[in-house]
Amino acid sequence: MLELRHLRTLAALHETGSVSRAAKRVHLTQSALSHQIKSLQSHYGLSVIQRRGQSIELTDAGKHLVSLAEKVLQEIQATERDLAKVSQQASGSLRIALECHTCFDWLMPLMDEFRLHWPDVELDLVSGFHSDPVKLLEEGGADVVIGSEHKRQRDIIHHPLFRFEILAVLAPEDPLRTKRILHAADFADTTLITYPVPEDRIDLILNVLKPAGIHPQRRTAELTVAILQLVASRRGVAALPSWGIKNYVDHDYVIARRIGSNGLWSDLYASTLKETASRPYLRDFLTTARNTCFATLDGIVPLE
Amino acid sequence: MLELRHLRTLAALHETGSVSRAAKRVHLTQSALSHQIKSLQSHYGLSVIQRRGQSIELTDAGKHLVSLAEKVLQEIQATERDLAKVSQQASGSLRIALECHTCFDWLMPLMDEFRLHWPDVELDLVSGFHSDPVKLLEEGGADVVIGSEHKRQRDIIHHPLFRFEILAVLAPEDPLRTKRILHAADFADTTLITYPVPEDRIDLILNVLKPAGIHPQRRTAELTVAILQLVASRRGVAALPSWGIKNYVDHDYVIARRIGSNGLWSDLYASTLKETASRPYLRDFLTTARNTCFATLDGIVPLE
DNA sequence: CATATTTATGAATTTAATTCATTGGTTTTT
DNA sequence: AAAAACCAATGAATTAAATTCATAAATATG
């Protein structure tokens, strides 16, 4: 018999295009999903997905079920918002602290949508730099911190968002363009253009350059566009999320290169206090965040 | 986590107005449903139903979930029809043999709806009387038999529809009107007005009168309205399903009385061959049949 | 051609749902 | 007013089923 579990899986398959990624998305193993799909297929006597080389493709039947899933899951979310109103859990505050500057890109439209659904929740962005963002939660200065920190800590929950790749961004004429992959040494004589945050908050420096003993010059800019403008005009190179620069790369404004043979990856979490985690509007915020990110951001991968 | 199981239960609770009846409706025990409701309530931190003395009442939250359930379950049904088309299982024949004459009442609109959803299925009513309707299935004369037969038989499946009460129908001026409950003896000097079928197909005779050694006169009519017309004009009494006479009773055209202290009840099944049972359009027919009957027919109770 | 990655599968395990047996309330009956 | 009948709730036992584990098969990738 069909269950929501199946629909959630179908939606994840559609989102991620692979069984193993979908499995992470719904916090199950690849095996579990494979079994699930099998039982679904035998229940309806038709196939839902088809192996397409290394990944998979949805069949016609699968597409029908996916569109059902999307419809149904949205309706459930809407009803759950209604339930929060009924039980008077539809108010409170959601002050978001952003550790990842580029995240403004997807957070802004998300906040607009959130405001529509939760008019009685005080929504705010906590601006400025914070040395210890998790402390901010404990001190009550913010309700969610969006960043890459995820070390286990009492009374704090790190809700996984997604994993993304950080690419080196170069001017199209940069001599390094000939290399398909950049390594630490390639940054030795460059100027690194970053957001105005300490060194230990920049993955490239922390995980690649510092271990290799390389300390390039730095120059900072507040906004992603400003950084890209500097890169394009050959003032230096930057390291930014692949989805944050996609448009600029597609239009040949800049070029992007992988950092290290496996790439430089970063994980994004939304951290809250334990007590905040159970609030309906926070749960809703998280699911819509994940949904919109997986739907709109290219190249991201489920986490956990 | 919410599952379709919960929504199916909610819908059944709404339909039947009681946990134990809802349990039968979804083929589970009362205990299972009670646990299910409890876990649902603790998941959302609010109550869904409230004990209202003998039976139960849905809370505001419960009503929200019920309307979600109805929407979602309909969408699933629609998608399953689409899947049948995709896998080319949307054609075949559905010839219905009716053992219960009064069932025309609900079957007609149901057939109209069915035709809309399954334009490529040959839908027919097998008319006339059949001594052994199950044999009709085996001989290929019909695809479904709607009647009260349900003895286990090889290669035949009896899909339970519902249980209903058969009431004695009297003219408003009938001397028997003073009795709240009629017993076999009360029929001794009456004329029994029935459909034109053999005695052993009339529950009142088979289960009440014959065992008591009472053999009233009989007169037959083809149509329910004709029977009621005869009753109203004092030509005799009839025994008909409570839902079949509700409108006439409500308008005081006739009056209805319980037969025996526990009432005279009859069970309705839709019987098919085993192989027919798995066809998508047959399953769809059955679920819509049950849905519309439980939604529109008063006083019916889930079976099994 | 070896290696990475991805999906499929059978068996074992764990989790969760359901039933069983019983109790506590309500209503109805006598 | 007591008894009977009915209905829902509960905890423990049971059963069922979903998930994981371990592994194989299949398909790119370098």
Domain containing A66 — which CATH number? 1.10.10.10
In CATH, what number is assigned to the domain containing residue B290?
3.40.190.10
Asked if residue B222 and residue B133 are part of one domain, the reply reads no
User: Which residue range(s) make up the domain with B256?
Assistant: 164-265
Whether any strand D atom is under 7 angstroms from the Cβ of B21: the reply reads yes
Q: Is the pLDDT of residue A54 over 80?
A: no
Whether B65 is in a domain gets the answer yes
Q: Are residues B258 and B174 in the same domain?
A: yes
Specify whether A203 is located in the same domain as A114. Answer: no
Q: Is residue B186 part of a domain?
A: yes
What's the farthest any 2 CA atoms get from each other in chain B?
A: 63
* Distance in angstroms (rounded) separating the CA atoms of residues A207 and A197: 16
Identify the residue whose Cα has the smallest distance to the C1' of C28: B54
Chain B CB contacts of A79 below 8 Å: 64-65, 67-68
Same domain? A76 vs A125: no
What distance lies between CA B45 and its chain's CA centroid?
36
Nearest partner of A301 among A9, A6, A1, A23, judged by Cα:
A23
Q: What is the mean pLDDT of residues B232-248?
A: 97
CA-based nearest residue to A143, from A116, A118, A109, A162: A118
Mean pLDDT, to the nearest integer, of B213-221? 95
Dist. CA A3–CA A11, nearest whole Å: 13
Residue A304 falls inside a structural domain: no
Provide the positions of strand D that have an atom within 7 A of a protein CB. Answer: 6-12, 18-23, 26-29
Q: Which residue of B5, B71, B82 is in closest CB contact with A75? A: B71
Same domain, A176 and A255: yes
The pLDDT value given to residue A149: 87
- B79 vs A61: CB contact, 8 Å cut-off? no
B247-250 long-range contacts, CB within 8 A, separation 24+: B248/B169
Q: Are B157 and B271 in the same domain?
A: yes
pLDDT at A132: 84
Q: Which of residues B15, B49, B75 is at a domain's end? A: B75
Examine the pLDDT at B209 and tell me if it is beyond 90.
Answer: yes
Q: Is residue A218 domain-shared with residue A233, that is, in the same domain?
A: yes
Number of domains composing chain B: 3
Given the structure tokens 């349900």, which residue do they identify? B150
Query: What residues does A220 pair with on adjacent strands?
Result: A194
The C-alpha atoms of residue A212 and residue B120 are separated, in whole angstroms, by: 71
- From B283, which residue of chain A is nearest by alpha-carbon distance? A44
CA distance readout (Å), A235 to A11, A172, A219, A228: 43, 12, 9, 10
Q: What confidence tier does A129 reach under pLDDT thresholds 50, 70, 90?
A: confident
Residue B149 pLDDT level (bands cut at 50, 70, 90): confident
Give the separation between CA A69 and CA A76, rounded to whole angstroms.
10
Nearest chain B CA: its distance from A236 CA (Å): 50
Model confidence band, residue B133 (pLDDT cutoffs 50, 70, 90): confident
Q: What's the pLDDT at A267?
A: 95
In chain B, residues 32 through 91 whose Cβ sits under 7 angstroms from any atom of nucleic acid strand D:
34-35, 37-38, 49, 51, 54-56
Query: What's the confidence (pLDDT) of residue B55?
Result: 82
Average pLDDT over residues A86-106: 95
Inter-axis angle of helices B280-296 and B104-117, to 10 degrees? 130
pLDDT attached to residue B134: 85
Give B47's contacts in chain A (Cβ within 8 Å): none
pLDDT, mean of residues B136-159? 93
pLDDT in tens, A29-44: 999 999 999 999 999 9
The 3-state secondary structure of chain B reads: CCCHHHHHHHHHHHHHCCHHHHHHHCCCCHHHHHHHHHHHHHHHCCCCEEEECCEEEECHHHHHHHHHHHHHHHHHHHHHHHHHHHCCCCCEEEEEEECCHHHHHHHHHHHHHHHHHCCCEEEEEECCCCCCHHHHHHCCCCCEEEECCCCCCCCEEEEEEEEEEEEEEECCCCHHHHCCEECHHHHCCCEEEECCCCHHHCHHHHHHHCCCCCCCEEEECCCHHHHHHHHHCCCCEEEEEHHHHHHHHHCCCCEEEEECCCCEEEEEEEEEEHHHHCCHHHHHHHHHHHHHHHHHCCCCECCC
Q: What is the pLDDT of residues B255-300, one digit of tens each?
A: 999 999 899 999 999 999 999 999 999 999 999 999 999 999 999 9
Domain end (from B20, B40, B75):
B75
Residues A73 and A203 in one domain: no
Task: Verify whether the Cβ–Cβ distance A65 to B71 is below 8 Å.
Answer: no
Separation of alpha carbons B124 and A262, rounded Å: 66
**Whether residue B254 sits in one domain with residue B194:** yes
Q: What was the pLDDT predicted at B87? A: 93
The Å distance, CA of B248 to C1' of D28, is: 74
Most B CBs within 10 A among A68, A70, A75, A283, hence the mutation to make, goes to: A68
Looking up tokens 């199916």, which residue turns up? B8
Residue A111 pLDDT grade (very low, low, confident, very high; cuts 50, 70, 90): very high
Question: For residue A216, what are the CA distances in angstroms to A177, A185, A205, A212?
Answer: 18, 10, 9, 11
pLDDT tens-digit series, residues B168-199? 999 999 999 999 899 999 999 999 999 999 99
- B234 and B257 share one domain: yes
Residues 6+ apart with CB under 8 A from A272: A137, A143, A144, A145, A156, A157, A159, A282
pLDDT attached to residue A131: 79
Task: Share the mean pLDDT of chain A.
Answer: 95
Q: Are residues B154 and B186 in the same domain?
A: no
Spatial CA neighbour of B14 closest among B3, B1, B26, B2: B26
Instruction: Decide if A42 contacts A51 (C-beta within 8 A).
Output: no
B118 in a domain, yes or no?
Answer: yes
Q: Is residue B80 part of a domain?
A: no
Which amino acid, one-letter code, is at B284?
D
Instruction: Please list every residue in chain B whose beta carbon sits closer than 8 Å to the beta carbon of residue A2.
Output: 4, 76
Domain end among B50, B75, B100 = B75
Q: What is the dihedral of CA A178, A184, A186, A189, to 10 degrees?
A: 160
Query: Same domain for B205 and B169?
Result: yes
Q: How far apart are CA A120 and CA A115, in angstroms?
A: 8
| Mean pLDDT to the nearest integer, A62-83 | 98
In a domain, A302, yes or no: no
Query: pLDDT digits over B35-94, tens only?
Result: 999 999 999 999 999 988 878 999 999 999 999 999 999 999 999 999 999 999 999 999
Calculate the angstrom distance between C1' of C10 and CA of A46: 22
More confidently predicted of A100 and B133: A100
Q: What is the pLDDT of residue A55?
A: 81
CA distance B136 to B115: 23
Of B141, B189, B107, B187, residue with least CA distance to B202: B187
Assigned domain for A260 exists: yes
Percent pLDDT > 70 in chain A is 100
- Looking at residue A124, its pLDDT comes to 96
On whether residue A303 sits in a domain, the answer given is no
Rounded, the Å distance between the CA of B28 and C1' of D17 is 16
